[in-house]
Amino acid sequence: MIELLCFIFILFGTLFRRGKLLAFFFLVFLWICFGWSGENADTNIYLFRYKYYKDITSTTEPIFTYLVKISNSFDLNYYGFLIITSLFFIISLMILVKKLEVKYVLVPYVLFLIFPFVMSVVIVRFTLAAAFIIYGFSFLVDKKKYWWQIYTLCVIIASLIHSSSVFFILLLMVNNFSVKKIIRISIIFLLALLFISTLLKYVINADVLFLSEKMSEVNNEVENMEKTSFNYYFGTITRTLIPFCVFLFSYFKFYKKNITKYSAKTVNIIETTLKINLLFLSSIGLYFISVDFSRLLFPLLFLNYCVYALIMEKSKANMMLMLILLISCGLELYLLVLRYDFMVENVFEPFFNNRLFEDL
């Protein structure tokens, strides 16, 4: 049932990209996929944390714990909490699309459904944090009044839900520096992170590189020698570089040639997003500490998808761009999920086992 609906929404979203009514049903569908999702790789972990929240304390990520406590005080079970959390996330997607005045409203939703929505359903806590980051993006790229104060507040809240979100505070500088300076800063950050990771590994002797505990877990579950931690790590880097390369290609091939056709607001949004992508490349250095940091890319992907929709509005070859984006999203899904049997079993297949449709 879910598989068929996914295919239908992707097909109709590709062909009828302006349909606002269809976009509404699409958002409802995303909410159902998330809020009523079946048991995936992390479900039991969240069930445990939700049930035994009194025994779990967090000094660095207290907001998620408080939300769980509030939910328990209303006698909601975990799935009730998940339904509310997922609705909040879906609303954040809708707000960004509206604030950026995207006319091809279905484009970002279709691309996000292909990737990384399947993973977002699994990593609930980070996805909740990402909702604040995505909302903050609407102020960061548009530079409205009090933009940096609101964006900073969003990052702080997100960081108190999932500490890795603190990285997004670095994006504040994109509105203060040129593209050339952003490239230099990104290179400096990348080299610094690589140095710190190497220091932790070889000097302090901390096991934090891709042969870390996380990667050991991957090795234990993956039987094929081609799917070792080494390949998993470089697959993650490749998955990060793909959207960056696609964005650059779209920027120069479809946007630059028609730059005079876009409004000043749209130009500012696209140019700022370019600098965000350039600065975000430095996050690859964090993968040497843990590949879990690759999830930081997810909120940026949705921002990119919105920008692609803006580019399509004035491009005559918008269907060609859409096909390129569909292929790139499919490739990212393959590199993260479909390439590994244990990811298919614990992430991809459970995504289609929706509790709502099972009850029906």
Per DSSP, helices labelled H in 281-335 are: 297-312, 318-333
Sign of the torsion formed by the C-alpha atoms of 258, 104, 101 and 152: negative
Burial class (CB in 10 A: 0-12, 13-18, 19+), 172: middle
What is the reported pLDDT for 350? 93
CB 126 within 8 A of CB 29: no
What is the reported pLDDT for 201? 65
What is the reported pLDDT for 285? 87
What is the reported pLDDT for 224? 46
The rounded distance, in Å, linking the Cα atoms of 316 and 274 is 21
What is the reported pLDDT for 204? 57
Please confirm whether the linkage preceding 108 is cis (ω < 30° from 0). no
Q: Please, what are the averages of pLDDT over each run of 10 residues along the chain (360 residues)?
A: 91 90 95 93 91 76 90 93 96 96 96 96 96 97 90 97 94 94 95 84 53 45 47 81 95 94 95 96 86 92 97 91 96 91 92 78
Sign of the torsion formed by the C-alpha atoms of 114, 117, 122 and 123: positive
What is the reported pLDDT for 78? 94
What's the number of domains the chain is made of?
Answer: 1
What is the reported pLDDT for 214? 46
The rounded distance, in Å, linking the Cα atoms of 109 and 305 is 8
pTM of this structure: 0.92
Q: Which domain holds residue 47?
A: 2-359
